[in-house]
Amino acid sequence: MRRLFCTLVIALFCVGITLPARAQLLQWGVKGGVNMTKIDWGEGNKDNMAGFFIGPMAEVTVPIIGIGLDAALLFSQKGIKAESSKVKQFGLDIPVNLKYTLGLGSTLGIFVAAGPDFYFDFKGNKHGVERKKSQVGVNVGGGVKLFRHLQIGINYNIPVGDHFTLKEAGTAIAEGKDKTWQVSLAYMF
């Protein structure tokens, strides 16, 4: 038993030495992309509106098994179409995702990710649309990693609860949630 344990420790040590120097546990980077937001008011969906997001991100990964955690602090713009008016929503978006990466050689990896998303609105209410100051959602997404530094991904944010109330003459006439598709590009240093 002792011999088996010593052999296992030596094997793990050899694997640790042979890992490439570029395989890092913690990476920092910049992430940006496009938001495509659709509002569900209960009585029907409205048109998509485009926005953007950009900001720093960090990723912690366990090298051999590919499981990690990524988080970002993003300045985000989302669009809202309510009846005939258009409203741009600006805020701070904080996605925190558990990520699994399957490496296909040193230059390519495929990942899937999921986790909570926290959004804090900067602007007040406009055009009869009352917005919650903070919103919570769940992210589900995936993508590819190229050349150890570039990540291209697609993400869907599923809202938890209503985020908006449409008011006419001070009376609430509909409540809604924003559903957002995101296409992102990240560069890790």
Give the pLDDT confidence of 86-130 residue by residue, as tens digits: 767 889 999 999 999 998 877 899 999 999 999 998 876 665 667
Q: Is pLDDT at 19 greater than 50 in this prediction?
A: no
**Residue 97 forms part of a structural domain:** yes
Question: Would residue 44 count as lying in a domain?
Answer: yes
Residue 107 confidence (pLDDT): 87
* Statement: residue 21 has pLDDT above 50: no
| pLDDT score at 145 | 94
Range of the domain at 172: 22-188
- Within a 10 A sphere around the Cβ of 78, how many other Cβ atoms? 26
Query: Quick check: is 92 in a domain?
Result: yes
How many separate domains does the chain show?
Answer: 1
- Check residues 157 and 177 and name the one with the higher pLDDT: 157
> 178: domain CATH number?
2.40.160.20
